Amino acid sequence: MGDLKQWSSCHYRRRDRYRRRHRRSGSKVERKIKNVKGKVMFSRFSTQASRRFVKPTIQQVRFASTKPAVAENTKQVAAVTAGIVGSTALAYMYVDNTVSANMADEGLHPPEHPWPHNGPLDTYDHASIRRGFQVYQEVCSACHSLDRIAWRNLIGVSHTEDEVKAMAEEHEYTDGPDDNGDMFERPGKPADYMPKPYANEEAARAGNAGALPPDLSLMTKARHGGADYVFALLTGYMDAPGGVEVREGLNYNPYFPGGAIAMARVLFDGLVEYEDGTPATTTQMAKDVSTFLNWAAEPEHDERKKMGMKATVMLTGLLALSLWLKRFKWAPIKSRKIVYK
């Protein structure tokens, strides 16, 4: 018979060792089961973590889940969202949002046309860009500049390199200074920008009864309706309706805000002769030049859509992969059964 105190402490130590071993073997069994299912990850982590949160008095926790916490969260989010929506609606009701209802001031809204490049995967009609450039060059370039487009931009889009070189050479550009300090004239190169019709704004206004023909490079982006607006503007000239007075030198066009535009109708059937034999009607020329101006404002359009498609395909694959990975990582947590003995 030894000392009682000594005996009991020895007993307790033995008991603790037994418990520890018991616990460890329990998790081993658990791990084994999970191994069979192929869900080994986090098995250690889950038992340890949950042990910390579960009161020691609870013997068994079945189907532990995070659901109640999520449900509470959803309620809070819903309440906050409802609050924001409600107060925004209330504020909107009391904000002064009156707008002018005068169609003439706003300009008639252009109808939407089914442009060949409208769809999410559609590219420009490049034959139309080529014809449109011809219309710009033969008609619009008499008054409108196209500052942001260089000859080289047309290469591979509407013309070949040789064609572009030949077209650029037809124009004289001022270059210099040379060795004597003098400016000199030389034929154009593909790197040159489109020649301007007027030397400066004053000359442009003087040539157009005080009105300034705007640069057309970004026109389809600068106007509401884009290419639809340019098309409607070019084909929308008509006699002023009864009761509408149009000042001398202006022309009635319902699509132009205010209805009176300084630019006269410029497109008439048969004005240009297309090299591909397309009948040059007013609407055909308007459609082609609008397509061309759309390209001028958005030359990256085709490439952008191609990149967009590539990105969509790749990101869809990555999304599927990450969803699968998430499920893989969470599987042992979602499907665990925590048992304490």
- Give the footprint of ligand HEC on this chain (CB under 6 A): 135, 139-140, 142-144, 208, 211, 213-214, 219, 223, 230, 233-234, 256, 261-263, 266-267, 289
171 is an annotated ligand-binding site residue: no
Q: Which two tokens stand for residue 128?
A: 């139309």
Rounded Cα distance between 56 and 160, Å, is: 82
183 is an annotated ligand-binding site residue: no
For the chain, the maximum distance between any two Cα atoms, rounded to a whole number of angstroms, is 129
Closer to ligand HEC at the Cβ: 50 or 208? 208
285 is an annotated ligand-binding site residue: no
Closer to ligand HEC at the Cβ: 82 or 209? 209
Closer to ligand HEC at the Cβ: 27 or 137? 137
DSSP 8-state secondary structure symbol assigned to residue 53: H
- Helix, strand, or coil (residue 337): coil
CB 41 within 8 A of CB 332: yes
Min separation Cβ 250 and ligand HEC, Å: 7
Closer to ligand HEC at the Cβ: 164 or 230? 230
Min separation Cβ 80 and ligand HEC, Å: 44
Find, among 201, 200, 198, 219, the residue nearest to 210 by Cα.
Answer: 201
Name the β-bridge partners of 184: 175
Rounded Cα distance between 249 and 104, Å, is: 19
DSSP 8-state secondary structure symbol assigned to residue 153: G
Closer to ligand HEC at the Cβ: 149 or 233? 233
Min separation Cβ 290 and ligand HEC, Å: 7
Cβ neighbours of residue 295 closer than 8 Å, sequence gap 6 or more = 124, 129, 132, 157, 301
Find, among 120, 121, 123, 140, the residue nearest to 293 by Cα.
Answer: 140
Sign (positive/negative) of CA torsion 278, 115, 233, 230?
negative
Find, among 256, 215, 209, the residue nearest to 236 by Cα.
Answer: 256
Min separation Cβ 140 and ligand HEC, Å: 3
Rounded Cα distance between 313 and 183, Å, is: 54
Q: How many CA atoms lie within 13 A of 212 on its CB side?
A: 8
Min separation Cβ 232 and ligand HEC, Å: 10
Min separation Cβ 87 and ligand HEC, Å: 39
Find, among 174, 176, 175, 155, the residue nearest to 165 by Cα.
Answer: 155
Closer to ligand HEC at the Cβ: 31 or 265? 265
Min separation Cβ 94 and ligand HEC, Å: 35
Closer to ligand HEC at the Cβ: 151 or 256? 256
Q: What are phi and psi of 251, to 5 degrees?
A: -125, 145
10 is an annotated ligand-binding site residue: no
Residues belonging to the binding site are 140, 143-144, 263
Residues belonging to the binding site for heme c are 140, 143-144, 263
